[in-house]
Amino acid sequence: MKPLLIISHVACSRPGYLCEYLDRHRLPYQRFSIESGEPLPSPDRLSGLVLLGAPVSVNSDQAWIEREMRLVRDCAERNIPVFGICFGGQLISKAFGGEVFTASTMQIGWHPVTITEQGRQLFNGNPIPAQFTAFEWHEDTFTLPAGAVPLFSGGCIGNQGFLYRGCLAVQFHPEVTEEIVREWVARYEACVDNPTLCRQDHNAILQDLPQKLTAMRQMSDNLFYWWLNQVNPTHNPR
C-alpha cells in the first residue's frame, strides 16, 4: 500500500489521534509541512491525502493554497481519496467551486453534530451515531460544491461536512488529543475569554476533557475506518 500523505500547515495543527489510529493498525503514512517550503509530492505516490487545519483563511493570497487545491483536484481526477479537516475541508470546498467566508460567529468548543439523511445512507452499516458531540474551532464556514453530498450539520454553523468526488470534508476536529486541545486553549486564550452560545470559555472546553475525547473517539474511529476503506477497500483495520 502506498502511504497516505498528511499535510499540516502550522506546527500547532497536528494529526494527533489520526496518527494514533494509523499506527495502531499499521497503516503507512508520511507527514508533510507546508512551512517547509518543499514542493508537494506527486499524487501518483499516494494512496490518500489528508489536509489538516490552519489559522488562516483559504481566501488569503498565499501561493501554497492554490498549489494545495491543485493537488486536491489532481487526486480527485485519479480517484485518490482526500480527507479535509476544518481548513482542509474549506479548501476542498473552494477547490471545487464552493464558497468560503467568515461565519456569523466563531465556533469553539464542544458542540452537537448531526448526520444528515444522505449521510445515514452513505454510512449504512458503519456505526457512526446519528448525533455526536465534536470539538470545533473555526471562524470561517463553507458552502457545498455543486453535486456534493451533505453529511453532517450543526446548530451554530450549519454545514459540518460533505463528500464530493471521493473528497471527505469535515468542519469539526476528529483528530484532536488532550494535548492539542490544551495547547490551543493556551495559545489562543483571547478567543475563549468572552464565551457566547457558540464559543465556549476555557473552563467549559477543559471540563471532563478525557471523557469528552473518549466519547468523540468512538465516532472518530468509525469515520477514519469508513474513509480508509475508500483508500483501500481490501483492507480491514478493525
Which residue reads 508537494 in cell numbers?
40
Per-residue pLDDT of the chain (238 residues; tens, 9 = 90+): 899 999 999 988 999 999 999 999 999 999 999 999 899 999 999 999 999 999 999 999 999 999 999 999 999 999 999 999 999 999 999 999 999 999 999 999 999 999 999 999 988 777 888 999 999 999 999 999 999 999 999 999 999 999 999 999 999 999 999 999 999 999 999 999 889 999 999 999 999 999 999 999 999 999 999 999 888 776 565 5
Distances in whole angstroms, Cα of residue 127 to Cα of each of 132, 158, 168, 224, 225: 12, 22, 17, 12, 10
> Can you tell me the distance from the alpha carbon of 162 to that of 94, in angstroms, rounded to the nearest whole number?
13
Q: Is the whole-model pTM more than 0.85?
A: yes
Distances (CA, A) of 29 to 1, 35, 58, 61, 218: 10, 19, 25, 29, 22
Strand order in the sheet with 149-154: 29-33, 4-8, 48-51, 82-85, 167-170, 159-164, 149-154, 100-115, 131-142
